[in-house]
Amino acid sequence: MLARWFVKTAIVINISQPYRLLWHSTRRHQIRTRVPDNVAVSLHRVPESDVNWAQGAAISRVSHPTEIETAVVANLTTNLTHLCRIQIGTLVGVVVAYPWQLSASALTMPGHLLWSHRRGRDLDLSALPVMDEPFGDPPGFEVAPSAFWAGAPARR
């Protein structure tokens, strides 16, 4: 339920701000019953209490096999991936919603992973790692070939 709350809040922030819409209606409405596919949520704590949010920071590290065109990967991770960090008190939730083309990829999240499309996780909120900055330490992708990449032309 906590993961769904952070995802719902990230969706509301994305659709209510003058920012590119990264949650199409079908995906937005899935939150009524579950966390949508290809969404990851992690949690950590910070020393200073606040209520704040930030969306749109770049994904930090992107590595991929050499046969995948760099421009295609950059478009998927920069233009089609939504990163939103939400701080409530000393708790910070990091929500990353990424396109289906990256579903076979490994995602590195700051803090403890609470939810990913592969599985949800139980977690002791009192044992969360404490980080210096609420919006530092960005997530990263290790792009893996999936059905999307199979047979893809070298140039688009």
What's the pLDDT at 121? 65
| Kind of pairing between the strands at 140-142 and 106-108 | antiparallel
Q: Answer yes or no: is 88 within a domain.
A: yes
Q: Answer yes or no: is 116 within a domain.
A: yes
Q: Answer yes or no: is 147 within a domain.
A: no
- Structural domains of the chain, count: 1
d(CA 94, CA 134): 9
What's the pLDDT at 155? 39
Instruction: For residue 5, give both structure tokens.
Output: 């709350």
For the CA atoms of 102, 60, 113, 2, the dihedral, rounded to the nearest 10 degrees, stands at -90
d(CA 116, CA 104): 12
Q: Answer yes or no: is 13 within a domain.
A: yes
Q: Answer yes or no: is 153 within a domain.
A: no
Q: Answer yes or no: is 155 within a domain.
A: no
pTM of the predicted model as reported, rounded to 2 decimal places? 0.84
What's the pLDDT at 84? 94
Radius of gyration of the chain (CA): 16
Q: Answer yes or no: is 148 within a domain.
A: no
What's the pLDDT at 110? 87
Q: Cβ(27)–Cβ(87) under 8 Å?
A: no
| Kind of pairing between the strands at 112-116 and 39-55 | antiparallel
Q: Answer yes or no: is 150 within a domain.
A: no
What's the pLDDT at 156? 37
Tens digit of each residue's pLDDT, the chain (156 residues): 899 999 999 999 999 988 888 898 988 999 999 998 889 999 999 999 999 999 886 676 667 666 677 777 777 788 888 999 999 999 999 999 988 888 878 888 888 889 886 666 677 778 888 998 888 888 888 887 665 655 444 433
Range of the domain at 45: 2-142
